[in-house]
Amino acid sequence: MTQAREVSDFDAIVVGSGMTGGWAAKELTERGLRTLVLEAGRPITPERDYVEHKPPWELPFRGLGDRRSVAARQPMQSHSVSFDEWSHVFWTDDVDNPYSTPPDRPFYWFRARQVGGKSTIWGRQVYRWSDLDFEANLRDAVAIDWPIRYADIAPWYDHVERFIGVSGQAEGLAHLPDGPFLPPMALNCVEQHVRERIAARFGRDRVLTIGRVANLTAPHHGRAPCHYCGPCHRGCITRSYFSSVNATLPAARATGRLTLRPFSIVRSLVYDARKGRVTGVRMIDAKTKAERVYTGRLVFLCASALESARILLNSGLANSSGQVGRNIMDHIKWGGASGQFDGWTDRRVIGERPNGIYVPRFRNVSSRHPDFIRGYSFQGGAGRAGWQAALRAPGIGAALKQRLTQFGPWTMNFEGFGEMLPREENRATLHPTLVDAWGIPSLHIECQWSENELAIHRDMNVAAAELLEAAGAKDIQPSGSGPSTPGGTNHEMGTARMGRDPKTSVLNGWNQAWDVPNLFVTDGAAMTSSGCQNPSLTYMALTARACHYAVEQMKRGDL
């Protein structure tokens, strides 16, 4: 009967403790709300769970991964770029958490169930949107218009960036606004050369800059600067990159108003039809499988785009528009090129910079491309291959050992990240029979690229080769691969979009459900278009903005 004494009523309930759940927890508790955060997965203790400094020889397979276990339990999760023998524990078990797709249309749904969610394993690249993005749907007559513009979100970008700490170089580009950056990480010698050559050839039209990344280059709010060990996706004992475990959840905890409940899988929302409000959340204890209800005046869904849509669909709520689960977007990748550079043979890189270069979008900015609308950015970098390039090299004995210590030529690569258009037929629905290990109906996901994305993908190879050619690279190799699998960039979004009209959107301009005023959805589900920027910064800014609005409404008695 000890459970009966546990508090079950809160001012606010936040579903999910990751990128946006952490922000909701921080903003709501700091504004005085007693807030319950429900996290489906286990608790994370950095001193116990972070493994970024564990050397390969302490792992059973020295970094090659537990091939049999991965094949049996994580065949989908293992496609993520940040999945490895160290980090695999930060991804879900595909057997316990199944989903389906048409056999000929794979979709990668990467999921992280633990306190911190995917903020522990994210790529940390953060770029602001501009009105080039917020006005895009209206301009192109695609889907529906965003209900907000850059001016609405700009102060919240400031707010989020000041807290998380973003290192980067101000470039003064109107379509990729600068922020209050910490000192930029350094370009290496070849990247600096390529930046200068691209500037000489393309002027301000194409700019190579250092990535804007949520890794600290100076002490920041009690967190230490990056020490360049490299594999951030395995954790960071010095809290040098932003994650909810490293930053927002401690801030929320410091208010004394946070209750964080791990192993809490939300089945559905509890709705009072008479009041037209959600009154709480029905969850299942992941370990005991006991079901219980928590009540709250406000509910924030921050469970990730597809998971939040799944909760809405399983609740039968907020869907009078029929748009819940639709308009799935990701970013198309695997287009680009690489090339070699003569020279700098007496130079090498020391340390592992957890960041690369960035070339902001240049297509359809000041000119019009004939083959597609929207555009893409490039990420990438230069370096010299080490022992990995000699693993299959001919030779044995002392000569082979010598070869392993030598550096290869400098090579540089550009990899595109292209915008995906929202289309209603790219959708997730409740599977009629498939359930997860807790008996909760899972999703059937149908999603594929359209001709616009495929045209963008083709152009990536061409433009990347142009950049390398301008920089004087040799042996330029366009990417040989076809487009990535949808979902594979881990930027899934759009499944409960914001809009101006309740008939065509799920959320209003404050991430508030049109149908249920005390319900907010602030993760990637809210996105009305996808831009080509890495999206987490925008999710965080929207979350902080929505929290501010919700609390103001509450104070006025409207919620």
- How buried is 178 (Cβ within 10 angstroms: 0-12 exposed, 13-18 middle, 19+ buried)? middle
The site map against another protein for 71-110 (x = CB under 8 A) is ----------------------------------------
- How buried is 557 (Cβ within 10 angstroms: 0-12 exposed, 13-18 middle, 19+ buried)? exposed
- ∠ CA(152), CA(427), CA(75), 5° rounding? 110
The structure tokens listed for 305 are 């785009």
The site map against another protein for 202-231 (x = CB under 8 A) is -------------------------xxxx-
Q: Any idea how long the chain is?
A: 559
The whole-angstrom separation of Cα 252 and Cα 300 is: 15
- For the bound state, the minimum distance from the C-beta of residue 218 to another protein, rounded and expressed in Å, comes to 14
Q: Does 188 bind another protein (CB under 8 A)?
A: yes
Q: Does 189 bind another protein (CB under 8 A)?
A: yes
- For the bound state, the minimum distance from the C-beta of residue 191 to another protein, rounded and expressed in Å, comes to 7
Q: Does 398 bind another protein (CB under 8 A)?
A: yes
The whole-angstrom separation of Cα 95 and Cα 113 is: 14
The structure tokens listed for 399 are 């000569």
- For the bound state, the minimum distance from the C-beta of residue 59 to another protein, rounded and expressed in Å, comes to 9
Contact segment (CB under 8 A) with another protein among 59-67, 129-137, 277-285, 520-528 equals 59-67
Which residues are CB-contacts of 141 (< 8 A; sequence separation ≥ 6)?
none
For residue 153, give the nearest of 553, 532, 526, 478 by alpha carbon. Answer: 526
- For the bound state, the minimum distance from the C-beta of residue 107 to another protein, rounded and expressed in Å, comes to 28
Paired sense of beta strands 441-446 and 474-478, if any: unpaired
Out of 218, 293, 404, 435, the residue judged to bind another protein by CB under 8 A: 404
Partners of residue 435 on adjacent β-strands: 441
Q: Does 60 bind another protein (CB under 8 A)?
A: yes
Q: Give the residue with the Cβ less far from another protein, 89 or 462.
A: 89
The whole-angstrom separation of Cα 529 and Cα 148 is: 12
Out of 30, 66, 446, 515, the residue judged to bind another protein by CB under 8 A: 66
Do the beta carbons of residue 335 and residue 493 sit within 8 Å?
A: no
- For the bound state, the minimum distance from the C-beta of residue 401 to another protein, rounded and expressed in Å, comes to 6
What sign does the dihedral 226-227-232-237 (CA atoms) show? negative
- For the bound state, the minimum distance from the C-beta of residue 358 to another protein, rounded and expressed in Å, comes to 15
Q: Give the residue with the Cβ less far from another protein, 98 or 231.
A: 231
The whole-angstrom separation of Cα 525 and Cα 507 is: 10
Q: Give the residue with the Cβ less far from another protein, 174 or 218.
A: 218
Q: Does 62 bind another protein (CB under 8 A)?
A: yes
The whole-angstrom separation of Cα 43 and Cα 340 is: 45
- ∠ CA(535), CA(529), CA(379), 5° rounding? 40
**Helix, strand, or coil here: 281?**
strand
Do the beta carbons of residue 51 and residue 235 sit within 8 Å?
A: yes
Do the beta carbons of residue 488 and residue 333 sit within 8 Å?
A: yes
**Terminal C-alpha separation, the chain:** 33
Q: Does 454 bind another protein (CB under 8 A)?
A: no
Q: Does 185 bind another protein (CB under 8 A)?
A: yes
Give the single-character DSSP code of 387.
G
Q: Does 51 bind another protein (CB under 8 A)?
A: no
- For the bound state, the minimum distance from the C-beta of residue 129 to another protein, rounded and expressed in Å, comes to 29
- For the bound state, the minimum distance from the C-beta of residue 78 to another protein, rounded and expressed in Å, comes to 14
Q: Give the residue with the Cβ less far from another protein, 335 or 356.
A: 356
**Helix, strand, or coil here: 381?**
strand
Q: Give the residue with the Cβ less far from another protein, 172 or 397.
A: 397
Out of 89, 95, 385, 400, the residue judged to bind another protein by CB under 8 A: 400
Contact segment (CB under 8 A) with another protein among 187-195, 244-252, 266-274, 426-434 equals 187-195
Using CB under 8 A, count the residues that bind another protein: 49
- For the bound state, the minimum distance from the C-beta of residue 167 to another protein, rounded and expressed in Å, comes to 11
Q: Does 56 bind another protein (CB under 8 A)?
A: yes
Q: Give the residue with the Cβ less far from another protein, 21 or 235.
A: 235
The whole-angstrom separation of Cα 404 and Cα 533 is: 37
Out of 3, 7, 47, 68, the residue judged to bind another protein by CB under 8 A: 68
Q: Does 407 bind another protein (CB under 8 A)?
A: yes
- For the bound state, the minimum distance from the C-beta of residue 328 to another protein, rounded and expressed in Å, comes to 35
Give the single-character DSSP code of 428.
E
Do the beta carbons of residue 50 and residue 236 sit within 8 Å?
A: yes
Q: Give the residue with the Cβ less far from another protein, 224 or 373.
A: 224
- For the bound state, the minimum distance from the C-beta of residue 82 to another protein, rounded and expressed in Å, comes to 19
* Residues between 330 and 389 that touch another protein (CB under 8 A): 344-353, 386-388
Phi, psi of 210 (to 5 degrees): -70, 145
Q: Does 397 bind another protein (CB under 8 A)?
A: yes
Q: Does 55 bind another protein (CB under 8 A)?
A: yes
Q: Give the residues lining the site for another protein (CB under 8 A).
A: 53, 55-57, 60-64, 66-68, 185-189, 191-192, 227-230, 344-353, 386-388, 390-392, 394-398, 400-401, 404-405, 407
